[in-house]
A and B are shown apart, each in its own frame.
Chain A
Amino acid sequence: MRKVAIVGVGMIPFGRYESESLVEMLAMPALRAMDDAGIGDRAVDALYVGNMAAGMFNHQSAVASALADYLALLPAAADTIENGPASGGSAIKNGLLAVASGYYDLVLVVGGEKMRDVIGPRATDTVATMTHPTAEYIYGVTLPSLAGMFTRLYMEKYGVTERHLAQVAIKNHNNGLLNPYAHIHASITQEGILDSPHSVVNSPIVSDPLRLYDCCPVSDGAAALLLCPAEMVAEFKKPKVVIAGFGQATDTQTVQEREDPTDLKAVRLAAQQAFAMAKQTPRDVDLAELHDAFTILEIAESEHAGFFKKGEGARALEEGRTRIGGDLPINPSGGLKARGHALGGTGVAQVAELVWHLRGEAGQRQVKGAEVGFSLNFGGFGNNVTAFVLRREA
């Protein structure tokens, strides 16, 4: 297997794109990634597009074929990769395997979703279609309700409180203020979202015990990476950042079939695989982008990925260890909470964020001296998870 590097990165600010089509939205970060690398007149061999539900959100299928043509990449190979909210992670994985195997040299990975064409209950329904049709969906289950039940169990078992959840939201909103690509640029306080009488208006209950500020926004957004074999990096203009490790694991489709529903088995296994392949440990990691679609998930994933012992993630958060400047900054981008969550775009945006930090290009939110980064993309309610370890190399 060849070692694979990321030589180009591109993103568009997450938020709302009214006048651009889905394909135009995906093309913008792709062009930026190619430009970032200084691709010149080299040909892209293959394109992988992470997208969960263009069929439902935008009434469009075969997105990769459309994008290959729009970007004038013909006759490059092109595939759309769907793996729920982990579609982005899976698209990167396909690019990684294709380059590592020696089959392709230059691969463009784009992840994105244009969710806000569909709003309110219809959007909630579209996202809920990833649940089990006859064991969950039909009973009015939503992703926030699965997260709400998970939160309640985690609170009972590990003493996580509403205060801890608010601290995740506040930290990530603060980080988002430093990120020009973030969907939400708003400072929030514990007073405003939890303690004051106005908190029920500012952060109403969405799926009790979850409030509005425990949930990520619904975003339009896209990001892109250009991959090549590590030995080709010198041909491009950016410092060498390699995909040192990758892991992916599945768990039961439904939460109800898990022996212990607070155990995120697929997170544990995907992270272990990624660290094993990278020959690194969680202690080596300088920053992590985790999938905080709900505040509880940042805490739970930080434990299951191996950064903190089970039940100690909330304390690490409380002690400020996961802030920028702490010993393990988590979600310096603002995470899904503030950078935003554009389903198929998220996994790619997480890795793009790591690359910027490892190159020293992350601006105000830069984690100083970062050499190793970790990302985790959580599909379904934890039933299909991808993880990456990235490393800066000389």
Chain B
Amino acid sequence: MNVARYWRTEKTRYGLVGETCRVCGKPIFPPRDLCPHCTEAGQDLRTFGGRGEVYSFAHVTDAPAGYTEYQPYTVALIKLEEGPLLTAQLTDVDQSDVRIGMPVEMVTRKLKEEGENGMVVYGYKFRPVMHE
């Protein structure tokens, strides 16, 4: 992947910027040209709050190239408070403590280093909610 491609999706990865469909009103994440719910075009940008819960998860011990130095890591489906599901890694949690329904919040973390020049790619991860 090239630098420009990371740059284009930065807002989504750093700030949980998604969209609200102007036609059907449903939340959309990540942003896209046509609404997956009603197939119409036209969305307004919105920032999701970054709170949600673990919907499902798997602990990865056979990571793909580029991620082997970080394994074992946990990949999860996160259900955001606003409704949409997204896919992310969990962080700051012991694997044996992860449960479906566990409240989590977004943090920005290093996803990986890439290429010969060691470009660091940052993005969202989710950690258990520390306090209410």
B-binding residues in A (CB < 8 A)? 120-122, 124-125, 128, 133-136, 138-142, 144-153, 156, 204-210, 252, 254-257, 261
Residues in A neighbouring B75, C-beta threshold 8 A: 139-142, 145, 148-149
How far does the Cβ of B115 sit from chain A's closest Cβ, in whole Å?
Answer: 14
Contact A134–B60 (Cβ < 8 Å): no
With A144-B62, A256-B85, A261-B77 as contacts: A153 and B56 at CB distance below 8 Å: yes
Residues in A neighbouring B102, C-beta threshold 8 A: none
How long is the Cα–Cα vector from A204 to B61 in the complex, in angstroms?
10
- Which of A146, A148, A204, A257 has most chain B Cβ within 10 Å? A257
Residues in A neighbouring B4, C-beta threshold 8 A: none
List 19 additional A-B contacts (Cβ < 8 Å) besides A139-B89, A153-B56.
A121-B63, A121-B65, A124-B62, A133-B1, A135-B30, A142-B63, A144-B60, A145-B58, A148-B59, A205-B59, A205-B61, A206-B62, A207-B58, A207-B59, A208-B61, A254-B87, A255-B87, A256-B77, A256-B85
Residues in A neighbouring B112, C-beta threshold 8 A: 140
A-binding residues in B (CB < 8 A)? 1, 5, 9, 12-13, 30, 36, 55-68, 70, 73, 75-77, 84-89, 95, 100, 111-112, 121, 123
- Which of B59, B62, B76 has most chain A Cβ within 10 Å? B62
Q: Can you list 25 A-B contacts with CB-CB less than 8 angstroms, sorted by A residue number?
A: A121-B66, A121-B68, A122-B65, A125-B65, A125-B66, A128-B64, A134-B9, A134-B12, A135-B86, A139-B89, A139-B123, A140-B67, A145-B75, A149-B57, A149-B58, A153-B56, A205-B61, A206-B61, A207-B62, A254-B87, A256-B77, A256-B85, A256-B87, A257-B84, A257-B85
Q: Which residue of A lies closest to B124 (CB)?
A: A139
Contact B58–A209 (Cβ < 8 Å): yes
Please tell me which one of the listed residues A139, A151, A152 contacts residue B88 in the complex, with CB atoms under 8 A apart.
Answer: A139
Contact B62–A142 (Cβ < 8 Å): yes
How far does the Cβ of B40 sit from chain A's closest Cβ, in whole Å?
Answer: 16
Please tell me which one of the listed residues A124, A204, A208, A254 contacts residue B58 in the complex, with CB atoms under 8 A apart.
Answer: A208
Residues in B neighbouring A146, C-beta threshold 8 A: 58
With A124-B65, A138-B123, A140-B111 as contacts: A152 and B84 at CB distance below 8 Å: no
Residues in A neighbouring B13, C-beta threshold 8 A: 134, 138
Please tell me which one of the listed residues A134, A138, A208 contacts residue B59 in the complex, with CB atoms under 8 A apart.
Answer: A208
- Which of B58, B61, B89, B121 has most chain A Cβ within 10 Å? B58
How long is the Cα–Cα vector from A256 to B30 in the complex, in angstroms?
10
Residues in A neighbouring B1, C-beta threshold 8 A: 133
Contact A148–B58 (Cβ < 8 Å): yes
Contact B86–A256 (Cβ < 8 Å): yes
How long is the Cα–Cα vector from A125 to B5 in the complex, in angstroms?
18
